[in-house]
Amino acid sequence: MKFVKNKLLANMKDYIKVNENCVYMLIISVIYILIFFYLGFFTGFAKSPYNHDIISILKNLTIKLLPIIGIEITRAILLNINKKNKKIAVIITILLILLEIDYNTIANIYTDKKLVFEYICESLIPMVMYSGLYTYLTIKDSCLLTLIFRIIKQTSMLIFPILPNMNWFINGSMNAITATIIYILFQYRLGKGDKKSNIISKISYGTVIAICVILVCFMLGCFKYEPITILSNSMNPQINRADVVIYKKLDELEKQEIPKGSIIVYSYEGKNIVHRVVDTVNENGATKYKTKGDRNNVEDKNLVGEEQIKGIVTFTIRYIGYPSVWLYEYFNSVK
């Protein structure tokens, strides 16, 4: 009788723990959705590709969610059979990744190296990271955690009429970082040890998460300062190709009072130009600027209006932009 009582108490404790973890994942999922849509205020919004009448929503939810549920239940069953075999867990994860890859998309883009690269960064890398996360959560707890996150994430994409208009880099980065942060949070939560190590882990994980969030926000241009990679030598020797410059965003008043000799970032025909202001011109009551690259022999042909100006360069970091330059030149040569 005592054995049965102890067994029931142990099962009850496990059940409560699972429920607590589910609530924890539910909160994380809601925060993810809020951040995802908040980024739309910086990247803009676009109309959802899905229909939003009741029948279409139910149909889309069925088509999208049933495979997710089936995959995660399959993952749980297979991992439960081979719970202690790490190699089998890796193989199961790889097989489930292969099951979720969109082969139709790959078939349509495989001849275009640029699109293949974008697909790898936006979809494949996050998919691999998420699948590894789902396997970890299933082994350590249950498939309920993965189902909560995946269902909330997918449902939000289907039911909202507008979605953030993110490019492949932002979308891929956000998902990769999200998978990393969730892993860190649950590694701490599910692998609690002594009090001292928990405090150290908590500080370490909190620091990593904070750095990741700050870097992402910085790259997205959420702050007053934003980075940009230099692709040419037109500002040589002060600024070289593959340098990264940090520019300060200007308000409307500041755009009217840019001192001569300042290096500004402005847009022209869809491209960002980093050149020096050499003169100010008043044209029909509007302030415009003559610009020139330090290495160029002549001034730029067109005047720069206030609406084109993005900011003024404040800092330069040497040579760290080479990966961006190589990718840009490679894809343009392919094109």
Domain boundaries, the chain: 2-219, 225-334
Q: What is the mean pLDDT of the chain?
A: 82
**Contact between residue 258 and residue 289 where contact means Cβ atoms under 8 Å apart:** yes
pLDDT digits (tens, 9 = 90+) for 121-142: 889 989 999 999 999 999 988 8
- As a whole number of angstroms, the distance between CA 197 and CA 204 comes to 10
Q: What is the DSSP letter of 170?
A: H
- As a whole number of angstroms, the distance between CA 222 and CA 229 comes to 17
**Contact between residue 153 and residue 35 where contact means Cβ atoms under 8 Å apart:** no
What is the separation of C-alpha 240 from the centre of its chain, rounded to a whole number of angstroms? 28
- As a whole number of angstroms, the distance between CA 173 and CA 216 comes to 8
pLDDT at 8: 41
Where would I find the H helices in 227-283? 252-255
pLDDT at 206: 63
What proportion of the chain, given as a percentage, has pLDDT over 70? Answer: 82
- A 10 A CB-CB count for 131 gives 23
Residue 84 exposure: Cα atoms within 13 Å on the Cβ side? 0
**Domain 225-334 CATH (choose: 3.30.420.40, 3.40.50.720, 2.10.109.10, 2.60.120.680):** 2.10.109.10
Question: Has residue 120 got a pLDDT over 90?
Answer: no
Question: Has residue 279 got a pLDDT over 80?
Answer: yes
Question: Has residue 16 got a pLDDT over 50?
Answer: no
Most confident of 41-45, 47-51, 113-117: 47-51
Query: In the chain, which ranges are E strands?
Result: 45-47, 162-164, 225-229, 244-249, 263-268, 271-283, 286-292, 304-305, 309-317
Q: What backbone phi and psi angles, to 5 degrees, belong to 278?
A: -110, -15
- As a whole number of angstroms, the distance between CA 103 and CA 173 comes to 22
Confidence tier at 333 by pLDDT (50, 70, 90): low
- As a whole number of angstroms, the distance between CA 327 and CA 329 comes to 6
For residue 135, which of 221, 196, 72 has the smallest C-alpha distance? 72
- How large is the average pLDDT for residues 197-217? 62
pLDDT at 315: 82
- How large is the average pLDDT for residues 29-41? 84
For residue 306, which of 266, 276, 261 has the smallest C-alpha distance? 266
- As a whole number of angstroms, the distance between CA 158 and CA 163 comes to 10
- As a whole number of angstroms, the distance between CA 214 and CA 205 comes to 14
Question: Has residue 3 got a pLDDT over 60?
Answer: no
Query: Which amino acid appears at position 244 of this protein?
Result: V
Question: Has residue 265 got a pLDDT over 70?
Answer: yes
Query: Which amino acid appears at position 216 of this protein?
Result: V
Q: What is the DSSP letter of 319?
A: S
- How large is the average pLDDT for residues 168-177? 83
Question: Has residue 108 got a pLDDT over 60?
Answer: yes
